[in-house]
Amino acid sequence: MIAVTGTQSASADSVGDAAALDVTIQQLKQEALEIGTGTQRAEDTLKYPVATRLTIDLSVVQPQLLIQAITVTIDNLPPVHREYSQSTARVLTKSGLDRLLRTNVAPGQHRLHAEFTAANTTGGKTDAQPLTGSLDQAFSKDNHPVVLELALGKGATATPALSLHSWSVQP
């Protein structure tokens, strides 16, 4: 009987040790994530200083439009081209933003040019004929980070169109 009690006690100690070890591992994982996040923020601050940081995101605000490709050019910088799988395009119609670009530009006036290809879906079927459009628009950059959102939706004539929304982020 005493031997059994000792075994139960040793077993209980093992379970307690395993639980304590699990808690320690979870704490270490959390600390590693926090260090990684801090490191990423520091790297972003060095790579993209506040006064020159420009971020461009894409959103799809019309659920029946599936983005297939987009090309974005800022001033004379090299164009950024992105192609989307049908599954990724469907996710963008439900929520979220896709970061197209993060770069540095000097404060002042700039020009954005974007071209897209999309498909129309109705009743779960995707039209074979791709829809295309473009946007050519000036924007202003001040001494704060600027986030531009290219939103794909329906324009005034019910055809797909891009609109530009700009936010100046106060650090």
pLDDT mean by block of 10 residues, the chain; 171 residues: 52 73 82 73 74 94 92 96 94 90 95 95 76 95 94 83 86 63
120: left (phi over 0), alpha (psi -120 to 50) or beta: beta
pLDDT for position 23: 81
What are the residue ranges spanned by the domains of the chain?
A: 1-47, 53-168
pLDDT reported for residue 2: 47
pLDDT number for residue 149: 96
Report the CATH fold assignment for 53-168. Answer: Immunoglobulin-like (2.60.40)
What lies within 8 Å, CB to CB, of 119 at 6+ separation is: 65, 66, 68, 89, 126, 127, 130, 131
